Structure 1
Amino acid sequence: MKLTFQKKFKSMLYVSSGALAIFSGLCAYKGDEKFYKNVIMPLLHLLDPEQAHKCAIFASQYRIVPKNSYKDPESLHIQVFDKSFANPIGIAAGFDKDGKAIMGLKDIGFGFVEIGSVTPLAQVGNDKPRVFRLSNDKAIINRYGFNSEGYARVAQRVNEAKPNIGSLILGINLGKNKTTDDPIADYVQGIKMFANISDYLVINISSPNTPNLRSLQNKENLKKLLKALVSVRNNLCGKSNIPLLLKLAPDLTYQERQDIAEVLKLPECKVDGLIVCNTTIERPSLKSHNKNETGGLSGEPLKDISTKMILEMSKLTDGIPIIGVGGVSSGKDAYEKIKAGASLIQIYSSMVYEGPLIVTKIKKELMELLEKDGFHSISEAVGINVK
């Protein structure tokens, strides 16, 4: 039995090393979209999803990814949270959990990078397997459970990267430890740790993979949480204007969304923006055999759900700045979210299926759609469908 395990381990090591070598070598060349989609990504998908994720982080960490040569046009520049974004396309939290891939993600052409979710203390997350591809649905189910190297280690990496990131906007997505007795204290610690080394902070209370986390979205719990966090932010030394964003779940009822909007209108609970939305525990019509795995569903099935929620929250909050995320794989998808009220867009699952060149593809298509409709900038199109 020991010999069998050793053979399996060696086989896995050979496959992983081989796939990584191929991926790394091919990435060194100027990227071709179809080649990535039809050759590189299927090769990477020979690995189990978590191993493939690690390979992608490795490639980004050591900058063996296709360097973006596309110059962002002025029409894609946008000012949000008093920050200047070279383009509105960012990588969602969940990809670079520990701040290892910042420079590679910059090379790919993202306008902003969101790290995390990061927890105060290092924790391993949930048992494996904990991430599943739903290839027939262009979707992913994950139940990672906030696996994190912890605030201190991630802060160290961010400090090391900051001098080299130029105009790249950097956000930190904050989570709480699974066994914490005081979730507010966890987020307070994160604000104090990252306020002076990031461009915005996200309070993530919407992951479905940490017990009782989503209960913090309940009206009274949210009021107590935000009152404490906004107060801490406002009294920080050095950077009391760091934007605070709240990330919401798509599974909230309309009444719960109204309640959240009411809380956000209280001066003592006023945050600077929302991220709409996190993964869903709902299971719309799916085709893949992994469709019944527990965890949060992301990707194409979330596209319309997310866009509708962006529109609702934009109306309910009188136009609070929103980062739209969920099922974006084209310029058209991004544009629909922008017209629904999103100022910025994040992707993740679509990059898993199509590779890093999708970033430039989305930007080019988005620029063409803006021009077609007579807009000179992204900001002119934000929220035009909100009535």
Structure 2
Amino acid sequence: MNFILFDGPRRNHLLPFTFTRPVSEIRVGIMTLKERWEAYLKASVTSLTEAYLSVKYPVILEDNNVFIDASILPSKYLITIVGSLKAGEVIKLGEVVIAYCSSSVKTIEELQDFKKIDFNEDIVQINSTWDIFDKNADILQSDFDFITEGRKSQPISDTNRVIHPERIFLEEGARVEFSILNATDGPIYLGKNSEIWEGSLVRGALALCDNAIIKMGGKLYGATTIGPFSKVCGEVSNSVIFGYSSKGHEGYLGNAVLGEWCNIGADSNNSNLKNNYAKVRLWDYATERFEQTGLQFCGLMMGDHSKTAINTMFNTGTVIGVNSNIYVPGFPRNFVPSFSWGGASGFTTYQPAKAFDAAKVMMARRGVEFNEVEADILTHVFELTKKWRKY
């Protein structure tokens, strides 16, 4: 079987994060959606995505392919059904296409002629940007159980104060000293070569992925994921950081999602609760309007390569696009388009040439090259997002 994760109908609802990656590369829990499918299937998986992303994320097509909606998470039962698919068969939950088997990509109309296999169990699906943090606790727990089953954690240093050590797992090279680790409300997972520096307070659930760092005095809780090579400090609550991003100083980040290569300036804060305790509305690129999340707590959504200056403030339910730079004092509006430069007093266009110069320097500090492929993707995003920039 050749397995392919396709973006599916939820892609535009997951912008700005899917401007720069397929749906399959979204991180939630401990793993990305792709990593999770590969772990459950015990097979390599490729992604079917937008043409401008396909150079970085190429798809492999063979004679017999199983196409799976990347926004849907695997389960042991779903893996069994997917693995038994035959050519001309489609798995559906109501009208939701979960997977189908074919020699080529099919449209919804073409799938009407396929043999339907009903799937009647519940599925976990990432339908919106806020699902990434809102569903993180359950997904992180499931990932923890899957990854650690039958394995033994590296020892936890006795300089730490630990509650429920059986729910704490350290991969090879992970280090934590003179910190408090409380796994009462959820597991704590430390990936390979990750570090928690002295004086940190961690209340699970937490996933600190490979090579990520919590700096001295960090306060993290409820369920939070810090992606690979990211650095955090200050107070972080129920947030997901995809990777290679920095929130290295004091300040509050809550009910939030950050893409890759973001930087949050010292003492920056986001609100995650309205003063009147009303449910939060959030910008949805698919509908091009603010949609009701149904959540009372919803903070900041920030696309790749976006940054803030020190003491930046964000209102409840703010969406920042790709490659934006927020530095003017005060609260910027709740939707900031990609490639914006400014803040509360107004914005100008952040020209790609200047944005790319900054990206080259930032990525080089982590040993990653900003190459022509990255530049082409971001140039395409710049063109795609012109209609939302009114300056």
TM bucket by the smaller chain? under 0.3
User: RCO (CA 8 Å, sep 6+): is it higher in 1 or 2?
Assistant: 1
More helix by share: 1
Normalized against structure 1, the TM-score is what? 0.27
Normalized against structure 2, the TM-score is what? 0.27
